[in-house]
Amino acid sequence: MDLITLTVFVVVLGAVLAVYILGVEEGRALRSARREIRDYRPPIEVVMEYRNPHGTASRWRLDIISAYYTRGGKLCFVGRAPNARRRKRFLTFRFDRVTWFATTDGEVIDTQAFLTQKLGITPPNPPPTGTRR
């Protein structure tokens, strides 16, 4: 190999390694952005109605496998949807967007009661009401 080819090879290799290292560090930062609360083994089976950010409601049958707080303090949980179009995919839901929970037998449970009794989590503080002056 001549000197120019060797120099180009070293520069390209250095650039590839730099991008890899930055990607690994960014992935660690994303994982540390959430604070795990607990994992559920066996998963908790539930049916729920969820409203997306646009207000569209959908019903999900889920096996809840974990719960966590985001960096912004939002309570979220991860569930496995065995009946979804993609087989057994994992989905993340924000607790404040859940309209209702129900058992697989059809018994509707209050969302705060479900949080404390079934998941064993203290409900997050409700957002303050009123206007700022």
Q: Quote the DSSP letter at residue 80.
A: E
Q: Which residue has the tokens 């957002």?
A: 127
User: How far apart are alpha carbons 60 and 49 in whole angstroms?
Assistant: 6
> What are the extents of the domains in the chain?
1-32, 35-118
Q: 91 or 130: whose pLDDT is higher? A: 91
Is pTM, for the whole model, over 0.85? Answer: no
What are the strands, taking DSSP E only, across 6-122? 35-51, 57-69, 75-81, 89-94, 98-102, 108-109
**64-99: per-residue pLDDT in tens?**
999 988 888 889 999 988 766 655 678 889 999 999
